[in-house]
């Protein structure tokens, strides 16, 4: 299949270059808020009360969990990008061949510090590897941060939002029952 539309080609290219981990978390989160409460609401195997609680919990959990996931990823990627500046040394006979990789300053705590054990590679290759390394490091840091957020902020917020949406579900049902009774 050949895509003739230039705008589709541009969109695909843009997605590959710009759709980063935090943006993907946002898209996943938005679709979770859209689908999961609906799926729970349509679960006819449950009694009304359990179903209402499941719907309220899925809304609360999706909002809080995905917001904290987004926050963890943004902060971690930003921190790793800012604290992983590096300097390189090139081969005397070939300027394009990098032979050493060290942090630029003491603040660059996420930069690799490799002298003898650095496998030489071209500048272009190093840029690609550093990009991939920063992604990996950002993801690891985000995991640690997410664990902290999940055990401290996420749980009480999920409960608060669940209670709020549970009351709303009940209120909606009451209004619906009253309108049905008036008919």
Partner 1 sequence: MIKPTGISSFNNYIFKNYAKDSSKLLVHVGTGVTVIGASAQVGMLLADKDIEGHTKKYLVNQEIITSGCCIGLYYTICDGTRRLTNKILEQGKFLTEKIALSIASLNDENKNPKVSQWKDVFTKDELKKGISNNLEHIQDTKIYKNTADSLKPQLFEYSQKILESFRGFKNGVSVLAVLAASIFAGNIAGPVLGNIIASLPAKKDCKIQPCGK
Exposure string over 107-126, b if 16+ CB within 10 A, otherwise e: ebebbbeeeeebeebeeeeb
Lay out the site mask for partner 1 across 104-123 (x = CB under 8 A, - = otherwise).
-xx-xxxxxxx--x------
CA angle, 24 then 75 then 136, to 5°: 65
Considering only residues 16 through 35, tell me which ones interact with partner 1, judged by CB under 8 A. 16-17, 19, 21, 24, 27-28, 31-32, 34-35
Helices 48-82 and 123-149, interaxial angle, to 10°?
140
* Residue whose CB is less far from partner 1, 1 or 92: 1
Q: Does 127 bind partner 1 (CB under 8 A)?
A: no
State the nearest-atom distance from the C-beta of 33 to partner 1, in Å.
9
State the nearest-atom distance from the C-beta of 71 to partner 1, in Å.
13
State the nearest-atom distance from the C-beta of 115 to partner 1, in Å.
8
Helices 21-41 and 123-149, interaxial angle, to 10°?
40
165: how many CB neighbours lie within 10 A of its CB? 20
Q: Does 13 bind partner 1 (CB under 8 A)?
A: yes
69: how many CB neighbours lie within 10 A of its CB? 22
Among 15, 85, 94, 123, binds partner 1 (CB under 8 A): 15
State the nearest-atom distance from the C-beta of 49 to partner 1, in Å.
6
């Amino acid at each position: 299949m050949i895509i003739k539309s230039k705008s589709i080609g541009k969109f695909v290219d843009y997605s590959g270059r710009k759709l980063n981990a935090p943006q993907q978390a946002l898209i996943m989160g938005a679709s979770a808020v859209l689908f999961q409460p609906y799926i729970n609401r349509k679960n006819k195997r449950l009694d009304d009360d359990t179903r209402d609680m499941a719907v309220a919990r899925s809304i609360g959990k999706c909002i809080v969990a995905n917001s904290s996931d987004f926050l963890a990823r943004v902060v971690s990627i930003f921190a790793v990008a800012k604290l992983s500046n590096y300097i390189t040394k090139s081969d005397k006979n070939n300027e394009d061949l990098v032979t050493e990789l060290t942090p630029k300053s003491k603040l660059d705590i996420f930069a690799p510090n490799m002298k003898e054990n650095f496998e030489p590679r071209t500048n272009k290759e190093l840029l690609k590897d550093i990009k991939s390394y920063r992604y990996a490091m950002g993801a690891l840091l985000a995991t640690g941060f997410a664990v902290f957020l999940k055990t401290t902020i996420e749980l009480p917020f999920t409960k608060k939002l669940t209670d709020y949406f549970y009351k709303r579900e009940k209120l909606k049902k009451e209004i619906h029952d009253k309108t049905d009774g008036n008919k």
